[in-house]
Structure formats: C-alpha cells, structure tokens
Amino acid sequence: MDPAAVNATHDPALSSWVESANAPQGDFPIQNLPFASCRRAGSTEAFRGGVAIGDQVLDLAALHALGVMEGAAAEALAAGSAPALNALMGQGARASSALRAALCAALRSGAALAPRLRPLLIPQSAVEFRVPADVGDFTDFYASIHHATAVGRLFRPDNPLLPNYKWVPIAYHARASSVRVSGFDLHRPVGQLLPPGAQQPQLAASRRLDYELEVGVYVGEGNALGSNVPLEQAERHIFGLCLLNDWSARDIQAWEYQPLGPFLAKNFATTVSPWIVTLEALAPFRTPWARPASEAAPLPYLDAPAMRSHGGIDVRLEVWLQSAAMRAAGVPAQRLSHSSLRDSWWTLAQMLTHHTTNGCNLKPGDLLGTGTQSGPQPEEAGSLLELTAGGKQPLRLAGGEQRAFLEDGDRVTLRGWCERHGYARIGFGEATGTVLPARVLE
C-alpha cells in the first residue's frame, strides 16, 4: 500500500455518530482516528490501546472482546488491545490501514455497530495515558536547516552551517528511558556547566533550560540487522507521528557537547503527546519536497521522484507558554512561535533510510525525533535559544514577565494540526510539561 494515497477514509463528507467528532475545528474527527495507550484515570486497570474519536476514546480491548471484526482488521485489533502498541506497529502498514478502515466504518454515521460500540467509549477527560509504545531506541535528528543555521550563527557567526549538514541527515542516539507522556512535570536538571568568566566548571542546576519543538516518528515494521530500507520503501516502515519536546539544558550542553555531542543536557526528559496520528491519516496534507535550485541534489540513495512529488507533510506546529504567575492570575497561555514540518531540510523517509544505510536494525516502537522544527522567519523559531538570540533578547510575556530561558513553574505546551481546503482538519492533541525546581543531589 502507498501511505501517501488518499482513500475513502479521508472523505470530508464522512461524519460520525459520536457527535463531538463532527466539530469543524476539533482535533479528532473520523478522518483522523489516532492511537494511544490509556486506562481510566485513577484506576488499577491494565493499559490498553485506544482510538480518539471526538472527545471520546474507543476502548480497543473491549472492542476486541466483542469479536465483531474479521481478517486483517481483527488481527490488528488484537495487537492494538495490548498495553503497548509495539505489536500493532510491527504488523506493518497494511494491518494498521485495515484496522483504521474498519474503525472508520464502525464509527461513521448510520453504522449498524453504533449501539454496541457506544458503551465502549470513555471520555478523554476521564483517562490517563502512558507512552504508547515501549520505546527500545530513540534517535534525535537535526533536520531543520533554519534551526541549524540560527543556532550555528550564535556560536560560529562566520561559519554557521558545517559543510556536512546539507549532505547527511545528522542525528545522535538519545535516551529512550526518559521519554514520558504529556503531563509529565520535570525537575530542572543538574550537571556540569561553565559560568561566564569562570576558569573551571561547577556542578549546578541549569540556568538556561529550553524546550525544542519537534515531531516524533514511531517506527512500524522493522528491518533485520545488516539490512537496509531503500528510500522508496521507507514510509512503509513508519507507523505514525506525534508531538515531541526535547527538553534541553543549554548551559550544560555548551560545556559538554564537544567532541561527542549531547549527553546530560538532553537525556533527563523528553515529552511526547499521547496520540499517534498514522501516516495514512496525513495523506491529504502531503507537499512536494524540493531544494533551492542553487543547492546540489542529495546523494542518489536519498533521492527519488515520489519523495520529490509528495515527500513533505504540512504539519503545523505551535509552542505555548504559561508561567506560574500567569496561572495564578488566570492569564491564559501565550503563543511563542509557530512553524511547519513542511520546511524540514530532510524528509521522514530520508531520515529513516539513512538510519538503516549501515545495516542498523530499527524495531517496532523505536522513536525518531526530527530535531527542532524552525521556519525561515524569526517568529517560526522552535526554541528559546533562537527566539531570544541565546538569551540576549528576552521575550515579554503577558503580565509583564520576561523570559530568556525557562523558569521554575513554566508550563510549555506543544500543539500540532493539519488543514487543507477540501479535507477535514485533523489534530495531534498536545504535549505538555511543567518545570519543577531542581532536586537536591544526595
């Protein structure tokens, strides 16, 4: 199957018997149907797969127990009933597509199954989530040339972009064990940093804590060790996308990252949104991928006509911040920036293919981060490091506060959605985290 092909599940005329799914600006219409792992909040129930429809969650384990699906959809449903979605991801794009089509048929207006499925719905407000997959490995890329150039300009004004950037999808091996689902509140990290003017480092809490606006990519079907995934097949190995905040301690990072790259500055926390929007659901929002005419084409293994025609995806992204003082005063969160995945220098397929070029084996549920997604305009910067010019130009918040970097009590929320004339708007939900004071080291 072609994950980029528009099919009957994308029909904008489709409506659902779940009335909240028909709201025009909602995140979760019947054309979306993203997956998560959840249970009733405060219960000791087992986590199991769920699908968002409007403001409700369809319990996949309860649906599986009804025995109303057949064939590939039934097999995928059984896998999606588990506490983690790795087995469903590993069945591949055809299986998840069959399940998505069956769910669409069962949830559409006039569906015969509606009376039997209605009791299986749980309000989203009444569930708690976990990370939807058991993430075995996590690789974070650096795919936005606008971000790479802006950050490089802060540290290397005369040579902001290193010569390999335009040729190779840069990445580092990130920490899977500290990936947490939206709502996780993180403590300000402690590490070695070198204060301005100091001659030796000190162990201290980070004073330059930052967020990074990213898209997360969950691997579906894996590849064997020693094999590689050609570019033309790469998207068949992608299950879906989420929002991802790669929290970053910029002062710790500046001291430790040479010569080997990020370590304690990055591995203390990564926040993901609970919902995985399948690659199939994103088909109507594909865009051409192209380089400026003045730029050389990528090496042949990273280039293909299909990728150039529709390898990009217009996922619109936002960052919102609400300080503790704003919450206390009832002041709503303030939008700091916006951007789109369509401006990425490297596509999702290029990242996955390059990852396997040396025979690296990806597994179902592995997580890839795109790196900070910044656009070409100043207001499209995906981190405070860029927005404040390295802290030299603080932002003014509603209520009069200023921010160069994050303060204790700050709540950061990432949002994402896709919309295009002639198709239903679909959303990603939110990825939210609040900064807590640093813990005292024992």
User: Looking at this protein, which amino acid is placed at residue 61?
Assistant: A
Residue 22 has φ and ψ, to the nearest 5°, of: -95, 5
Per-residue DSSP letters for 271-320?
Answer: EE-S-BEETGGGGGGEE-----TTSPPPPGGG--HHHHHH-EE--EEEEE
DSSP output for 29-57: -TTT--EEEEEETT--PPPEEEEEETTEE
Residue with token string 């179902």: 364
What angle separates helix 71-80 from helix 93-107, to the nearest 10 degrees?
A: 100
| Closest to 101 in 3D by CA, of 51, 36, 38 | 51
Which of 10, 147, 354, 355 is flagged as catalytic?
147
Is 146 among the residues known to form the active site? no
Any residues with CB less than 8 A from the CB of 128 and at least 6 apart, and which?
38, 39, 40, 41, 42
Under a CB-based contact definition with an 8 Å cutoff, are residues 89 and 218 in contact?
Answer: yes
**Does the CA dihedral 344-346-352-356 come out positive or negative?**
negative
DSSP, res 16 = B
Q: How many Å apart are CA 20 and CA 330, to the nearest integer?
A: 27
Residues annotated as part of the active site: 147
